[in-house]
Structure 1
C-alpha cells in the first residue's frame, strides 16, 4: 500500500489498469489511468495542484492567501483540497441552479 507524507503527494499517483477487452480486440496493450483514485476522485486534482503551485511560485497567490473559484464541479473540489493542504483558504461559488446536495458540500 502506498503511504505518502501529505495528500498533495497522493495526487497523480493513481494506478494504470489494463483494459482487457480493448487490448484483446486491438492486439495492443491498452491501459487506463485510474484518475478517480486521486484524493478528490477526479483528474481535476492534478490541474488544481498545478494552478495553485504556479500561482504561489509566480507570487500571484501568497502563502495563507485565498483561492476563489466559480464552479459547480470537480475543479472546485480539487482547488479546495489542494488549497487546504497548503494552508490556503478557499471560497467556491456555485450557481443557484445547482442541487441543494451540491450546495451543502
Structure 2
C-alpha cells in the first residue's frame, strides 16, 4: 500500500536552541500539538474540532501543502500512540504527516 506523506521541517523551530538540545524534537512536536489544542480550547471553549478551527483561523499551513485535518491526525498519532499511524491514516482517509530535521535547503526523502 502506498501512502502520501507530508513532511514538516523542524529546523526553523529550533535554530536558536543550543546544540545540546538537538534530541528534543519529538518532545517539541508533542508540545507544539498540545499548545495548539490549548489555544483552540481558550479561543473556542470546549467545542468539537477546536484544534482544526484554531489552525484554519490563525495559521497558513496550506502554504506547505498541509491541512488542519492532516495535522490533527498527526497530533493524534503522536500524543496517543507515539507513532505516525493515526486511525484515519491507517484507513487511508488522510495522508501520513511526518517531520524531519534538516537545514533550510534540505530536501524531503520519500
What TM-score, normalized to structure 1? 0.32
The structure whose Rg is larger is: 1
What TM-score, normalized to structure 2? 0.31
Instruction: Return the structure number with greater relative CO, CA threshold 8 A, min gap 6.
Output: 2
